[in-house]
Structure 1
């Protein structure tokens, strides 16, 4: 279509229902379906020829145009008298909300203002990439009232793991509209500060690592076939303070059947690397395993499960594990750990480890040498850290209510890395950002919780959150943790209830 044949769309109302002057300035745009839409593209794709739209149109007005061009939306009964009730060809698909990217930024301003802020010329047609908008999280269930605060949680292999201020590990599964508690085991004498889980593809066991303010670090093994959770290994000699962060990964050298490795950080800035014993130490069909050269030694003593535990014990020897490496990585609390992207293989140690601390610093460590190959200094305490699913870009939370993005990618010899320009997400929270997690499926989406009791979902292509929902029951309750599930987000906090939100 030539410029003389351009389409001109004049919606009668803007986003706020205000009548639009049809004589106002127009801007030419081309609608391009986002490459991220890989399924059923033919149902959403539009011709890319430019068309004229009001210059001050916003996201909702553009979404109405796209739905109109796709012939989607409910019919107006007042204007459909000529349509036959049984004429199925005249039935339209329901309208859906769309989001728009202008120069890789989510459109949140009037179109002309957004183009001006980005320095784009309107002499040529603007390219708007569109895609279905992410809907607000919808509450779909919650657990019963628990005895104490929910401090940490993680979702793995269809199951939610949580650690409480009472030192208890709990699992949750959906049953109707309620989240039902499954296995319950007393793991620590103090509040659990961190949790990480990993399923061993070889044995089918899920290993759950927890660290506590009682200065202990342990792993439990879960047998899904038997529904049993039992102490698997105790880790000693690496820390002399409260354990504040932990991260499991596959790929440890000589670590057993499944080759798991673990990193842990403490309140004093200490960082330790551990080999996790393999499934043979948790399998009743195997003999007890003695000490070896990988920092493991057998222990004939079995930790007595709490009498209130609903889980059974998996027979076998509990290992007492010594660290492979132990260094003081930061001058204060290590509040977040993440293994580097594409840094693991089935036969060798993960190559890099990303750390964040209350000393305002973020670092990348070469695991084989335990050398810091990148150090970035921020202006605020790092209260939480999460790595993007497809890169070494990390998001951090801080007490100043702000979410920051950092590029932790290195050239292999150190250097590189930075706080990403214009990637400080606005101070939308009203209090301390307590937890942050990147979506495991969408590299642009992350979620945060805060002491203000809210859960927010963000798209990093905008400085404003996509959605905000109340995550606690009462005013003054703190939201302390969250976890992405399969199409859900879970949250927990000082109201002692786990909540489930559909995405």
Structure 2
């Protein structure tokens, strides 16, 4: 950058939506080689506007729709703006990065967590599920908010979801590398838990789980490349009492009385690699994310695939918007991508 560019100026109009810093359209000529210095600049602007100033916090600036992290010259070039325009700079208080309020100790990796209205469930690589009181956590009680440790599986826990949290008996589902999904009933008043059903059918680790909007069904995705649908009802025609097993891998679960073995009501095949994410888009439709570089939309009613979105990298997880019906997915190439499954070639 030559000397002339170093000294070029642009007229900057400072605005804010924060009422206690309201200005009257104050404009200042600024050298484009500068990065706006938050606290000092706002103080100067307010002095020029004859505004009352007290102790000021630090500020960030938004110019042409983006947070300013470079010089004015670089921002003008990115936005395609000339020096003749009046540049509008919106300023707002800088909020410090969040700091941990508490630390909840586990004995191994925490692989998953799910919150409901008052409770949080966490899954751990030591094969356990932990239940926590969110009200206690919000009051900074930390470990005192811990309600229960459940020896839930015979291998690390991979995913969790709550099913029913409105009654005294709360139900949730955990899945594991031990190839099972387990339905649990937790009595929050007495703080006791029962293993209601053990869902068997996958031949490799069960990586993800999601419950339908009506809570009548749930779906699981697995390293065996399949998507399976199950009933949340603890009683169905496919279940039988679990046989006694005195083998070395059989561990008695907390509250395990006569857990039933449940079979899936539908298996959907099509993915060629691990199914890492699943979500219900409505009561009859699901979407899955897979390491085979595809997102797939499934019709749970007819038991087949409706749509496929191909990418150029593995998809690890996904979420669905009930408002605009779009799908957002996390990818192996470090990007988060947004898709409209209704658009051709999306």
Is structure 2 residue 255 aligned with structure 1 residue 325?
Answer: no
1:192 aligns with 2:157: yes
Structure 2, unmatched stretches of 5+, are none
Per-residue deviation, 1:270: 0.4
Name the counterpart of 2:7.
Answer: 24
Q: Tell me, what secondary structure is at the counterpart of 1:151?
A: strand
Residues 208 and 222 in structure 2, CA contact (< 8 A), matched pair in contact too: yes
Relative contact order (alpha carbons < 8 A, sep ≥ 6): 1 or 2 greater?
Answer: 1
Post-superposition CA distance 1:337-364 (Å, at most 9, x none): 2333xx4xxxxx1x54332211122233
* 2:29 corresponds to 1:52: yes
Q: How far has the Cα of 1:215 moved from its partner?
A: 0.7
Q: 2:57 aligns with which of 95, 100, 113?
A: 95
**Structure 2 residue matching 1:108: 3-state secondary structure:** coil
For the structure 1 residues 388 and 128, does the alpha-carbon distance in structure 2 shift closer, same or farther, using more than 3 Å as the test?
farther
1:137 alignment partner in structure 2: 98
Equivalent position SS for 1:396: strand
**Aligned counterpart in structure 1 of residue 127 of structure 2, from 159, 167, 180:** 167
User: Residue 140 of structure 1 aligns to a residue in which SS?
Assistant: coil
Encode CA deviations 1:81-120: one digit per residue, 9 max, x unaligned: xxxxxxxxx88354143352533x3332222202212323
Aligned-partner Cα distance in 1 for 2:55–2:301: 56
CA RMSD of aligned residues (A): 3.8
TM-superposed deviation, 1:333:
0.5
Mark the runs of 5 or more structure 1 residues left unpaired by the alignment: 1-20, 35-40, 72-89, 256-260, 282-289, 344-348, 418-503
Count of residue pairs the alignment pairs up: 329
User: How far did 1:69 drift?
Assistant: 4.8
Summarize the Cα distance change of 1:91–1:330 in structure 2 as closer, same or farther, 3 Å threshold.
Answer: same
Contact 2:38 2:59 in 1 (8 A): no
Secondary structure, in 3 states, of the residue corresponding to 1:114?
Answer: helix
TM-score, normalisation: structure 1: 0.56
Alignment partners' CA distance in 2, 1:226 and 1:302: 28
The equivalent of 1:217 in structure 2 is 181
Can you list the C-alpha shifts for 1:4-41, whole angstroms capped at 9, x where unaligned? xxxxxxxxxxxxxxxxx9x933223344546xxxxxx5
Counterpart Cα distance in 1 of 2:275 and 2:311: 14
Q: Is the CA contact (8 Å cut-off) linking 1:301 and 1:318 kept in structure 2?
A: no
| Residue of structure 1 aligned with 2:19, choices 10, 28, 42 | 42
* TM-score of the superposed pair, with normalisation by structure 2: 0.77
User: In structure 1, how many angstroms separate the alpha carbons of the residues matched to 2:172 and 2:312?
Assistant: 33
1:404 deviates by: 1.2
